[in-house]
Amino acid sequence: MATRERVQRVLDRAVAEAGIPGIVAEVKDGDRTWFATAGVADLRTGAARRPGEHVHTGSSGKAFTAAVLLSLEAEGRLGLDDPVHTWLPGVLDANGYDGDKITIRHLLSNTSGLFPTGLAPEVSHRYATRSGILRHRFDAFTTGELLRVATSQPPVGEPGERFAYSNGGFHIAGAVIEKVTGSTYEQEVDRRVIRPLGLTHTRVRPLDDTGYPAPHPRAYSTMFFKDGVDPSTITPENWESMMEEPGLPPLDVTEFNTSLGWSAGNVVSTTGDMIRFLDAMSTGSLLPPAQHRQMWTTVPTEGSHWMPYARYGLGLFELDPEATGGRTLRGVGGSLWGSWLLVIGTSDGRHTIAVHTNTEWKTWDVMFQLVEAEFGVSVGA
The DSSP-derived string for 186-213 is HHHHIIIIITTTT-TT-EEPPTT----P
Question: How many structural domains comprise the chain?
Answer: 1
Residue ranges of E strands in 247-316: 251-252, 267-269, 299-300, 310-312
The count of C-alpha atoms lying within 13 angstroms of the C-alpha of 380, restricted to the half-sphere facing its C-beta, is 9
pLDDT along the chain (381 residues), means of 10: 89 94 97 96 98 98 98 98 98 96 98 92 85 92 96 96 97 98 98 98 95 97 81 74 81 96 98 98 98 98 90 97 93 96 97 97 92 93 69
Q: Is residue 147 part of a domain?
A: yes
What is the span of the domain harbouring residue 34? 3-375
Rounded Cα distance, 192 and 359, in Å = 30
Is residue 317 assigned to a domain? yes
- For residue 380, is it within any domain? no
Listed in sequence order, the residues at least 6 apart from 238 whose beta carbon sits closer than 8 Å to its beta carbon are: none
- CATH number reported for the structural domain that contains residue 288 in this entry: 3.40.710.10
Tens digits of residue pLDDT in 143-181: 999 999 999 999 999 999 999 999 999 999 999 999 999
360 occurs within a structural domain: yes
- Please report whether residue 205 resides in a domain: yes
- 303 occurs within a structural domain: yes
pTM for this entry: 0.96
Look at residues 309, 263, 315 and name the one whose alpha carbon lies nearest to residue 106. 315
Residue 381: inside a domain? no
Alpha carbon 366 to chain centroid, angstroms: 17
Give the residues across from 330 on adjacent strands: 318, 345
How many whole angstroms separate alpha carbon 199 and alpha carbon 236?
35
Residue 18 lies in a domain: yes
Give the C-alpha separation, 152 to 154, whole Å: 7
